[in-house]
Chain A
Amino acid sequence: MDDQAQVVAQPRVSVGPIELLDAVVDKTFRLPVLALFGGVAAVLVAGVFSATNGAADLPVGGVLRALLDRVPLIDIDSTLNSRQAGILFQIRMPRLVLGLLVGGALGMSGGAYQGVFRNPLADPYLLGVSAGAGFGAVLALGFGLDLGWGPFDAVTAAAFVGSIAAVAASSLVARGSWSSPATLLLAGVAIAALFSASQTYALQRLSETRSREVLSWLFGQLGTSGWEQVWILGPYVVVCGAVLVVHARHLDVLRVGDDEARALGLDPARVRLVVIGAASLLTAAAVSVSGLIAFVGLVVPHIVRLLVSHSYRVIVPMSALVGAAFLAFVDVGSRTLVAPSELPVGVITAFVGAPFFGWVLWRGRAAL
């Protein structure tokens, strides 16, 4: 450490270009404040949009006042009547918060998978992780293992086991060629097909009412949600999200390949284990409360990469914000497009995500 101190203490030989360079270096590693601010703004806009639109339109001003009124030490009159307030706090808000959490979880785990596999097409859905989690959750639900307390929930645990099994199987099948988009995706397709088939088989064995319930959950929905599901998912988003953000810089090191990363002093196997574990747990938790919602983990990190930065230091946290805003927006569509009935939110994300996926493929190798 002595040599380092010596280096820092060096006097500056001249002014001008040197300070310019230091500014560039500092800028490169500063928090992307503007982008984070934009992400937070997008979340807020999506939140207000989602809270005010639906079967009953609520006035924007009233909603904002009612929300402000809930902040400690602030006391204002919301101007909403009691029916409107009931809709806002018992139906809209839990669903909105759940949508933000699920979107954030899927966006962030998609970014993390892309980094860990050095593969821009990695995504919990395409890797078969969601299908694995879905199968686990179906088993737990089907066998009536619907018990637990808050985040310690049997369905989530079963979904986690399924998701880990799926990601392990996909990476084993694609052994050694993780960074080749095609190989990993094909492995994911095979694994997802296997888990989907197992899931269908498990569904067949259930009673008809039970299987219809499970099926509607499986389509990907935020509809049945109350505050209970927020309480299940929330802690996972906080804990796993923190783990992923801390490891984001390691994902940048992995971009030069395992060999060079090791020569730089990183242990790629350890990073992979921690990041895959956290991302899979996050996916499993999201799947267990909202079913299979496709393509969020693919689309969102790509948008961040296109608009802000290629660095995972930025992609991981920004994907959480953009994913949250994205899913909150999409959920408004799911509530209003075919009103009075509801379109599963997973159907809309697939409508948006599949063409996007096609476009990424079409842009070809250069863009990958």
Chain B
Amino acid sequence: MTVIAAATGQAALRCRSVAVVFGKSEVLHRIDFDLSEGEWLGIIGPNGAGKSTLLRAIAGLTHYEGTVALHGGRVPSATDVALVPQSPILPAGMTVTEYVMLGRTAHLGWLSRESRSDRSLVGLVLRRLDLASFAERLVSELSGGEAQRVVLARALAQQAPILLLDEPTSALDLGHQMAVLELVDQLRQQDGLSVIAAMHDLTTAGRFADRLVLVEQGTVVDCGTPAEVLRQDQLSEVFRTPLQVRVLDGEIVVLPSPRRI
């Protein structure tokens, strides 16, 4: 299997007292966490908790206070972190190949011509994500699941060791949700990518993530393994609805409490 982004063998990313202020309201308040090499970190929490803002701060898309640094102290750029946005814009008339090539932007030279190696990398990524037969299709005409795979392909073409996923499966049905997450997990294991994913579904978050960060109103409420974080009392309080946490075949399942009729 071909490796697309090579592992560096170090702790991947460090966030220290990251705060984001929009106008007068503080959207993120002193967030701390570490991401290790090859780890899948799930960010969970209710709507408006600041999950997307945290990812945007890491990608450098919003102004923040505090430190976001790679190993060695460097602030990450587009060659270090690749963002898969929640609702990506798919321009009319653009083919899948052209779209995936956009991922090479940060690697291009001064005249911004695509080199031979850029082109062969795009071919490689397309093959890797089973998109070879889609190469000439228009991105605006893809189904939800196909489009998600194409956006993931663009992120892979960035050759960044850290993948940021902003609720990557919110528009997909159950089967496509699993397919995309399995694919990300495979890439992580085979290519040594590290993943930070804002995730809606607590059960899938518990299944795929190595560690979970629970965020509420811009503050980290809890951080740890899924078994530590996915506690019935804690989740019911944060999500403001009675939830039950069960273990089914060794896997943690989070469900709403049964309705009383």
Residues of A that sit less than 8 Å from B by CB: 2-8, 10, 17-18, 20-22, 24-26, 28-29, 246-247, 249-250, 252-253, 255-257, 259-266, 305, 309-311
Interface centre among B60, B61, B90, B105 (most CB of A within 10 A): B105
20 A-B residue pairs with Cβ-Cβ distance under 8 Å, sorted by A, are A3-B3, A3-B159, A7-B3, A7-B4, A21-B127, A25-B97, A25-B126, A25-B135, A28-B101, A28-B136, A256-B88, A256-B90, A259-B61, A260-B85, A263-B82, A263-B83, A264-B103, A265-B78, A265-B79, A266-B105
Decide: A24 near B97, CB < 8 A? Known: A246-B112, A262-B60, A262-B61.
yes
Within 8 A of A (CB), among B113-172: 113-114, 116-117, 119-124, 126-127, 132, 135-136, 154, 158-159
What chain A residues lie within 8 Å of B119 (beta carbons)?
22, 25-26, 29
B111 interface contact, C-beta 8 A: yes
**B2-A10 in contact (CB<8A):** yes
A-B contact count (CB 8 A): 120
B77 interface contact, C-beta 8 A: yes
B43 to chain A, nearest CB (A): 17
A248 to chain B, nearest CB (A): 9
**B124-A260 in contact (CB<8A):** no
B248 interface contact, C-beta 8 A: no
Interface size on B, residues (CB 8 A): 51
What chain B residues lie within 8 Å of A4 (beta carbons)?
107, 117, 121, 159
A114 to chain B, nearest CB (A): 13
What chain B residues lie within 8 Å of A22 (beta carbons)?
119-120, 123
A2 to chain B, nearest CB (A): 7
**B88-A6 in contact (CB<8A):** no
CA distance A4 to B108 in the complex (A): 13
Residues of B that sit less than 8 Å from A by CB: 2-6, 59-61, 77-79, 82-83, 85, 88-95, 97-98, 101-103, 105-108, 111-114, 116-117, 119-124, 126-127, 132, 135-136, 154, 158-159
CA distance A309 to B138 in the complex (A): 12
B194 to chain A, nearest CB (A): 15
**A253-B94 in contact (CB<8A):** no
From B59, B117, B126, B127, A263 is in contact (CB under 8 Å) with B59
What chain A residues lie within 8 Å of B121 (beta carbons)?
4, 7-8
From A8, A264, A310, B102 is in contact (CB under 8 Å) with A264
Decide: A265 near B3, CB < 8 A? Known: A25-B123, A28-B97.
no
**B95-A28 in contact (CB<8A):** yes
Identity of the chain A residue whose Cβ is nearest the Cβ of B157 in the assembled complex: A264
A306 to chain B, nearest CB (A): 10
Identity of the chain B residue whose Cβ is nearest the Cβ of A247 in the assembled complex: B112
From A5, A25, A252, A305, B122 is in contact (CB under 8 Å) with A25
Q: Given contacts A253-B102, A259-B85, could you give 15 more A-B pairs where the C-beta distance is less than 8 Å?
A: A8-B116, A18-B127, A21-B127, A26-B119, A28-B95, A28-B97, A28-B98, A28-B135, A252-B98, A252-B102, A262-B60, A264-B154, A264-B158, A265-B106, A311-B93
**A21-B101 in contact (CB<8A):** no
CA distance A59 to B77 in the complex (A): 63
CA distance A26 to B89 in the complex (A): 24
CA distance A3 to B114 in the complex (A): 17
CA distance A26 to B116 in the complex (A): 8
Identity of the chain B residue whose Cβ is nearest the Cβ of A310 in the assembled complex: B93
CA distance A260 to B56 in the complex (A): 10
What chain B residues lie within 8 Å of A262 (beta carbons)?
60-61
**A256-B89 in contact (CB<8A):** yes
What chain B residues lie within 8 Å of A264 (beta carbons)?
78, 102-103, 105-106, 154, 158
CA distance A9 to B41 in the complex (A): 32
CA distance A266 to B106 in the complex (A): 7
CA distance A246 to B109 in the complex (A): 11
3 A-B pairs with the lowest CB-CB distances in the bound complex, closest first: A265-B106, A310-B93, A265-B78
What chain A residues lie within 8 Å of B98 (beta carbons)?
28, 252, 311
